[in-house]
Amino acid sequence: MPKKIIKRFLPDYKKIREHKHLKVFGKLIHDPNLWHLNRRSVSGAFSVGLFMALMPVPFQMILAAAASILLRVNLPIAVALVWITNPLTMPVIFYCAYKLGAWVLDLPVQEVEFALTAEWLMTQLGDIWAPFLLGCFLIGTFLALIGNIMMRWFWRSHVLKGWQARRKRRKAKRHHS
């Protein structure tokens, strides 16, 4: 069952519910649907988490939690997936997003060295914000869609394999009886 696989990687939901940054959501965080592991909830969480990971804004985890609450999908998975963009991966991912946006807008790619500093935000972001944000949106949307489809496929194939194994066991049991 996919639940067993996913549960191994998730932190304790009680710890997450008590996290200081998530207290802003009050009682909304106690909705049982945010903690369920089913095909809809997990695939929706992949969409939320992967989309939010590509949004170049602070507090991605809180935004992913808010979207999870709004869409009633698995909160821990959505919040964990925003860490795809982290200090090690951000420069490469965001540069690719910028290049994609520039290509879509048919703009020349400027040589940009990404740095998450106030100085960089004031100087270079002003020159590239439109292609950068468009690229982030497009890649985020694409990853959200692919993540959702792949998770649904994984879940379905895992369930089908379980059914086939159970069918084989029943058949073998009948032959031995």
Of 35-39, 110-114, 118-122, highest mean pLDDT: 35-39
Residue % of the chain over a pLDDT of 90: 47
pTM of the model: 0.79
Which residue range is the domain that position 46 belongs to? 2-176
Looking at residue 177, its pLDDT comes to 64
- Alpha-helical segments (H) within the chain: 2-9, 13-17, 39-53, 60-71, 75-81, 90-104, 118-123, 125-176
pLDDT of residue 96 exceeding 60: yes
Asked if residue 1 has pLDDT above 60, the reply is no
Query: At residue 114, does pLDDT exceed 70?
Result: no
Q: Please state whether 106 falls in left (phi above 0), alpha (psi between -120 and 50) or beta.
A: left
Mean of the pLDDT values across residues 139-162?
93
How many domains are contained in the chain?
Answer: 1
Of 18, 5, 6, 138, residue with least CA distance to 81 = 6
For residue 61, pLDDT beyond 60: yes
pLDDT band at 9 (very low <50, low <70, confident <90, very high): low
pLDDT, residue 106, reads 94
| Spatial distance between the Cα atoms of 17 and 32, rounded to a whole number of angstroms | 11
Range name among 45-49, 72-76, 136-140 with the lowest pLDDT average: 72-76
Summary mean pLDDT of the chain: 85
**Distance, CA of 101 to CA of 97 (rounded, Å):** 6
